[in-house]
Amino acid sequence: MSSYRLRSFSHWLLALFLTFTAVGQVAAQDAATVSKDGVVPGQTAAAAPAAAAGGAAPAGDAAAVAAGDALFKGNCAQCHAVNDVVVGPALAGIDQRRPLPWIIKWVKNSSKMVASGDEYAVKLFNQYQKQQMPNFALSDEEITSIVAYVKSQTGPGAGTKQEQGGSPDQGAQANQGGAAGADDAAGAGKYVNVVLIVLIVVLIVLVVTLVIIANIMKDVLRGRKDLDGRDVELLDQKTDWMGILKSGWFKGVVGTLFVLVVLYESIQGIMAVGLTQGYQPAQPIAFSHKLHAGEHQINCAYCHTSVYKSKSANIPSANICMNCHSQIKTTSPEIKKIYRAIQRQQPIQWVRIHNLPDLAYFNHSQHTQVGGIECQTCHGPIQNMDVVYQYSALTMGWCINCHRETPLNTKGNGYYDNLVKLHDEANASAPFTVSSNGGTECSKCHY
């Protein structure tokens, strides 16, 4: 009787186990196909608008889109986005709203069109608080390429995700590449996580099943009469947890681990004295780089105007904010703070985040303009930060390491021609880094 119950019980267990494994496997397989699909539609979605644009006008279109991309960023992006209203309307679907000749005439001289009484133009002009769009001395072809670019970007989320080269601003370019890459990675990461979770569940089920099976086997063995004393002893053996806890080697291992952790943490603490990495003060106005530099893709240098030209990257004055916020979000309490500062003729009191000691000399233009280093290399993913924080350590070691590793950007820079020749004569196999040019000499960075 009991053996019958036992057998049906183990059958039942086996069935349960098989079901679990099967479900786990199907789920894992699903996850795998979804992960494939998750990538493929992403790619086709990116390719589709381009194909649509190609449908209207035959090949050679990619070049037009690329040219339009650069023209759009250089001339239009401060007021227009493809899928969002910025200062001017969202341009998505413009080729359907208006015929191409109208668009060309409009971009060349919009005020003339409004003055001529064009019904659509007058209505739009009034709708946008009679703001004048500037006139552009662009050719018909250039304007057509901008329209092609807009077409290629139309669609939800398409505008911000799939831009690549051609941007005049290295910073924004890196941020888009970064964002798209991160998206892909996040997508892939999600499926890897699903697969992992399924695997872990399967493992747990396996372990539980094995323990149960082991116990059943023991029960079966206990039922047998032909076991001798030692076998019975083995069968009834229990793990002696208390014994292990009290044993010398256990105490030794735990003690050593404890001392190591404390030592590691204290050393880390001491090394961090005077470091402000991660510093993220609250700012007087809830200004978001994620919104401005990320979503609306405003060029870093639109606000930090001197970053390519001088030692310091200035913080924009309230006037720069007013270029847009005289029109945008005028009733927001945060924006009213800007108006108040202007009324009082007092600057907005931004809290400074990055701050080298006076003994060190750092020059932005040397790094951004001459060295061609992107803002994000030193400042991190600013375009994703709602509130800016100090990304790099800004220690001397950080400066020096990069100077040792980074080859000089000497291309097209006549200043370096002779130095490169001298360096190559002396040792052509070693790269010509910042430090081989004296970038680790004390006096370069210390007054």
Shortest gap between Cβ of 65 and ligand HEC (angstroms)?
Answer: 14
Output the furthest CA–CA distance in the chain (Å, rounded).
111
**Site membership for ligand HEC, residue 276 (CB under 6 A):** no
Q: How far apart are CA 285 and CA 386, in angstroms?
A: 11
216 binds ligand HEC (CB under 6 A): no
Is 335 a binder of ligand HEC (CB under 6 A)?
yes
d(CA 53, CA 369): 36
For 338-392, the DSSP string reads: HHHHHHTT----PPP-----TTB---HHIIIIIS---HHHHH--GGG-SS----S
Q: Among 83, 305, 323, 384, which residue sits at the site for ligand HEC (rule: CB under 6 A)?
A: 323
Binding status of residue 190 toward ligand HEC by CB under 6 A: no
CA-to-CA distance for 428 and 422, rounded, in angstroms? 9
**Is 229 exposed, middle or buried, given 0-12, 13-18 or 19+ CB atoms closer than 10 A?**
exposed
d(CA 114, CA 121): 5
The one among 75, 109, 326, 384 contacting ligand HEC by CB under 6 A: 75
Minimum distance from residue 435 beta carbon to ligand HEC (Å): 8
Residue owning tokens 């375009």: 383
Confirm if 380 and 178 have CB atoms less than 8 A apart.
no
Residue 433, by phi and psi: left (phi above 0), alpha (psi -120 to 50) or beta?
beta
Long-range residue pairs from 35-38, CB within 8 A, at least 24 positions apart, any chain:
35/187, 35/188, 35/191, 35/192, 38/187, 38/188, 38/191
Distance spanning both ends of the chain, measured CA to CA = 94
Q: Choose which of 65, 104, 107, 158 interacts with ligand HEC (CB under 6 A).
A: 107
> How far out from the chain centre does Cα 220 lie?
59
Residue list 228-267, contact with ligand HEC (CB under 6 A): none
Q: Which is nearer to ligand HEC, 31 or 321 (CB)?
A: 321
Indicate which single residue of 148, 383, 432, 436 sits in contact with ligand HEC (rule: CB under 6 A): 383
Query: Which of 253, 263, 315, 430 touches ligand HEC (CB under 6 A)?
Result: 315
Site string for ligand HEC, 19-58 (x = CB under 6 A): ----------------------------------------
What are the two backbone dihedrals, phi and then psi, of residue 321, each rounded to the nearest 5 degrees? -60, -40
Residue 67 engages ligand HEC in binding (rule: CB under 6 A): no
Question: Residues 257, 259, 260, CA angle at the centre, nearest 5°?
Answer: 65
By beta-carbon proximity to ligand HEC, the closer residue of 30 and 183 is: 183
Kindly identify the residues of this chain, within the stretch 143-172, that bind ligand HEC according to CB under 6 A: 146, 171
Retrieve residue 114's tokens. Answer: 């409004």
Give the helix, strand, coil percentages of the chain, each rounded to 5: 65, 0, 35
> Judged by CB under 6 A, which stretch of 41-49, 153-161, 231-239, 319-327 contacts ligand HEC?
319-327
355 contacts ligand HEC (rule: CB under 6 A) = yes
108 scored as a contact of ligand HEC (CB under 6 A): no
79 binds ligand HEC (CB under 6 A): yes
Query: Which of 53, 65, 67, 86 forms a contact with ligand HEC (CB under 6 A)?
Result: 86
Residue 316 in contact with ligand HEC, rule: CB under 6 A: yes
287 forms part of the interface with ligand HEC (CB under 6 A) = yes
Contact pick of 26, 208, 263, 291 for ligand HEC (by CB under 6 A): 291
Please, which residue, 401 or 427, has the CB nearer to ligand HEC?
Answer: 401
Q: Which of 31, 300 has the CB closer to ligand HEC?
A: 300
- The alpha helices in 57-134, defined as continuous H runs, are 61-71, 94-97, 100-108, 110-115, 119-127
Q: Look up tokens 């292990």; give the residue.
A: 244
Question: Does residue 354 bind ligand HEC (CB under 6 A)?
Answer: yes
Residues 407-446 that bind ligand HEC (CB under 6 A): 408-409, 434, 437-442, 444-446
Site for ligand HEC in 87-106 (CB under 6 A): 87-89, 91, 94, 97-98, 103, 106
Hey, what are 353's tokens? 């985040």
Residue reference for tokens 């109208």: 102
Closest CA to 379 of 359, 354, 355: 354
Q: Which of 55, 101, 156, 357 is in the footprint of ligand HEC by CB under 6 A?
A: 357
Q: Which is nearer to ligand HEC, 24 or 155 (CB)?
A: 155
Q: How far is the CB of 325 from ligand HEC (least distance, A)?
A: 6
Site for ligand HEC in 128-147 (CB under 6 A): 128, 131-134, 136, 146
Nearer to ligand HEC, 24 or 171 (CB): 171
Choose between 21 and 369: whose C-beta lies nearer to ligand HEC.
Answer: 369
d(CA 79, CA 132): 11
Give the residue with the Cβ less far from ligand HEC, 189 or 438: 438
